[in-house]
Amino acid sequence: MKNKVIKTVVVYLGGLLTGLSLILYPALGPIFTDTAHFGFSSNQFSSIFIPQTLLAIFSALMTPFFVTKLGVKRVLLLGCFSLALTTFLLFMSHFFMQNKEIALVIIYAGTSFLGLGFGLVITVLNPLAFQLFPNNELASISGLHFSLGLGTAGAPLLVSMLHDPNLWWYLPIIVFALLLLLLVLVVFLNLNEQENTFRSGVLKIPLRLWGFVLIVILYGICEGTLGSYGAVFLKNQGFTIKAASLGLALFWSGLAFGRILFGLLSARFNIKGVTLLSALLIGFLFYLIPISREASFSLFGMGLAGIFMSSLFPSSVNWATKENTANAIMVSGLMVAALQLGTGISTNLLGFLSENYPLSLLFKGVGIIAFVMSVLMWLMQKYSKK
């Protein structure tokens, strides 16, 4: 019983701190691109996410093999240590703001460890959450991604609450200390009962699973657009740094609280129709937010987009895992890798294209991708196995 409590704390605290670590970098986008601070160009800012994306994909795909060789606990410890290191490197970068080249190298190293840690931790936590409450796996996974979303919402919210933007470096050092606490909890966690489950099955990818992978890639493009460029877009629209950070916080808050809402609804209802409708509405919001001239609507639209996106990734993970329970860790790795690939595509492509095209136009283009995602979801539901 005691181990079950520790495991529950590790799963949901791990999700929270992973979310905080993940969004600290994009949440500090206005600081990175402000000439009074780092003064990075839009291209330089987008480039810092390249190592994160590549290593997150690599680590997520390799986690099943790492678990086979090292065991679940060691892989989780390695992931938590990597996340702690990335927050420490982000803190260290503030000493080199006047030397852009050195600061950029430190931040590249930080996002590299961020990608490694994120891929390892979330890939392990997904099947752990799936097993926590066997009678309602979707609620279990939604709870994990609620805590993850709470962390992603907390990072920009904390930035927006800073009275002095020059004190931003307090945030990563606080998260670093919390990650050390998580490391201690994992040390005392017994995961021996998970070893056989995580290592069972074959690493063969069924054809149908690629449909889920594609849905998550398209979803990742949508999430990455608002999650990485939401604050930068709002700042370009004339918002202050604090107001732009608030808009990003509303998006991640909507994502977080929407997940707990859908998790509760899933205990009583079949929400597949709701997720399909949400995907359609996301497409419309990507068109409406850029053409809105009302600041209040832009902020409201960011929060609403988060709510509509909230059910898509957890339901895809749950659905794919139910259809491939013998290979839960492999499914989790593929889903996390697909998410990172999607966010990486949007983050880097938007950074490149924004040099010649306004973000308002690019956002409308992502709306088309959301519509394509909704069509694919409908096809997967129509030919559903379960």
CA separation, residue 121 to residues 10, 63, 175, 339 (Å): 11, 9, 16, 14
| 307-364 pLDDT tens trace | 988 888 878 877 787 777 667 778 878 888 898 889 888 877 777 777 777 777 888 8
pLDDT higher than threshold 60 for residue 197: no
| 87-124 pLDDT tens trace | 999 899 888 878 878 888 999 999 999 999 998 998 88
pLDDT higher than threshold 80 for residue 258: yes
User: Which pairs count as long-range contacts for 180-185, CB under 8 Å and 24+ apart, including other chains?
Assistant: 180/84, 182/10, 182/13, 182/14, 182/17, 182/80, 183/77, 183/80, 183/81, 183/84, 185/6, 185/9, 185/10, 185/13
Q: How far apart are CA 278 and CA 326, in angstroms?
A: 30
By CB atoms closer than 10 A (0-12, 13-18, 19+), residue 108 is middle
Least confident of 31-35, 46-50, 216-220, 364-368: 31-35
Between 2-27 and 170-187, two packed helices, what is the crossing angle to 10 degrees?
160
> Under a CB-based contact definition with an 8 Å cutoff, are residues 120 and 82 in contact?
yes
pLDDT score of 236: 74
CA atoms in the 13 A half-sphere facing the CB of 162: 22
Question: Global pTM?
Answer: 0.75
In this structure, is the dihedral angle defined by the CA atoms of residues 119, 121, 124 and 129, taken in order, positive or negative?
A: negative
Assign residue 71 a region: left if phi > 0, alpha if psi is -120 to 50, beta otherwise? Answer: left
> Under a CB-based contact definition with an 8 Å cutoff, are residues 182 and 10 in contact?
yes
Q: How far apart are CA 315 and CA 272, in angstroms?
A: 8
CA separation, residue 277 to residues 211, 266, 372 (Å): 18, 15, 13
* Alpha-carbon torsion, ordered 183, 133, 22, 231, to 10 deg: -150
| 262-311 pLDDT tens trace | 767 766 666 677 888 888 999 898 888 887 777 778 888 888 999 988 88
